Amino acid sequence: MFKYCSINKYTLENLSNEQIYFSSPSFFNDPFDTFHPASVERLSDKIFVELVTKLWKGRFDQGDLMEIMNKSISLDRYYSFCVDHIDYIFQFDSEHKLVKYRSKKAYLNYLSMIGGNSKELFSEEVFDLLNELKIHLTGVIVNVLNEIRVNKFSKMGISCFSKNSDNLLMWSYYADGHKGICLEFDSTVLPFSKTIEVTYRSEIPNIISDLFFSKESDLQSLMKLATHKSIEWSHEEELRLLHHNNNQKYRYPKGSLKALYFGCKVSDEHFDKIMSIVRQIYPEVRLFKMVPSTTKFILNKREFIYREKSEK
């Protein structure tokens, strides 16, 4: 696994101290990266009832909800349910198209009027209530997800890696236009063995709401958001390490750095600065220089052994 770097004081510090840095995702260059809006998958009836009872503990009776879902509730029980909850569900002061009546009183009067005379009209009212409650619930869930996601990600740290070391665009984006370096780490040792492969897709991933509200799934859902990116970035073949706090430095074990690759445009000054660190701390690391091919639009790796006045 590989990490592209510009050569600056932070890279020199990290290399000198045998450490990696976990950045805040708020500084990433992709506006959708980790901070894209959370979306909720279509709710099944079972999940719907579970979420209502979890989100609004003590407000709704699960038995009433199940009978409403099955449209088996009696008019009397439905009327009692509406007396307790309809103003909360319908929010009569809104302009929502499903709200046919402008007050709780008007709605209850209508229920009293239809009585048991029209099962069809009663069924329509139950259907409207279900739709409105689902819309209300979905809005609440999305807000909760977004709030937790932002709070978590405002603290979360991410360190980014790639599966390859010879990508022209990666050298351009992340290694100062081929003037930087690329570090190769041993993916079998901690913390590098904990990397998560980024998934690339066209659509923003959904949060499965019934899993999200369990303690274990909180992190799973957030990790799903943190490791999904637009397919436009698939050339990066990215791997990610996640930390519960950002702006953190993590020291890696001796021998974790396997190889170091110099960009084809690295300056003599930067080369010497890097090599002064390598000689002291990484005497066994393999050294490469990236060299443009003379026949194809690719970079070739040329291994070398460093000597004080050797040709780079």
Mean pLDDT score of the chain:
81
Q: Pick the residue with more confidence: 176 or 78?
A: 176
Confidence at 245, pLDDT banded by 50, 70, 90: confident
Per-residue pLDDT at 218: 52
Which among 66, 90, 43, 24 has a CA at the least distance from the CA of 213?
Answer: 43
Cα of 256 vs its chain's centroid, Å: 27
For residue 97, pLDDT over 50 is answered with: no
Overall average pLDDT of the 167-174 stretch: 95
Lowest mean pLDDT among 54-58, 155-159, 195-199: 54-58
Query: What's the Rg (C-alpha) of the chain?
Result: 29
Contact 75, 118 (CB under 8 A): no
C-alpha–C-alpha distance, residues 98 and 76, integer Å: 22
Q: How far is Cα of residue 25 from the mean position of the Cα atoms in its chain?
A: 10
Give the DSSP H/E element, type plus range, for residue 78.
Answer: helix 75-90
Residue 35 pLDDT exceeds 70: no
* Alpha carbons 157 and 253: distance in angstroms, whole number: 20
Two structure tokens written together for 295 = 């026949």
Highest averaged pLDDT of the listed ranges 30-34, 54-58, 243-247: 243-247
**pLDDT confidence band for 114 (50 / 70 / 90):** confident
Higher per-residue pLDDT: 207 or 271:
271
Tokens representing residue 23 in the block? 């950045």
Highest mean pLDDT pick, 39-48, 104-113, 118-127, 295-304: 295-304
Local confidence band at 152 (pLDDT 50, 70, 90 cut-offs): low
What pLDDT is stored for residue 206 in this prediction?
Answer: 65
Q: How many residues does the structure list for the chain?
A: 312
Instruction: Find all residues with CB under 8 Å of 139, minimum gap 6, and list them.
Output: none
Q: How confident is the model at residue 251 (pLDDT cuts 50, 70, 90)?
A: very high
Read off the tokens for 12: 């020199």
Examine the pLDDT at 98 and tell me if it is beyond 50.
no
- Within 10 angstroms of residue 153's Cβ, the number of other Cβ atoms is 20
pLDDT of residue 174: 95
| pLDDT for position 102 | 67
Using DSSP, state whether 28 is helix, strand or coil: coil
Give yes or no for residue 83 having a pLDDT over 90.
no
Is residue 101 scored above 80 in pLDDT?
no
Q: How confident is the model at residue 31 (pLDDT cuts 50, 70, 90)?
A: low
CA-nearest of 191, 170, 167 to 20 is: 191
Res 116 pLDDT > 70: no
* pLDDT tens digit sequence for 286-311: 999 999 999 999 999 999 988 765 44
Distance (Å, rounded) from C-alpha 185 to C-alpha 293? 25
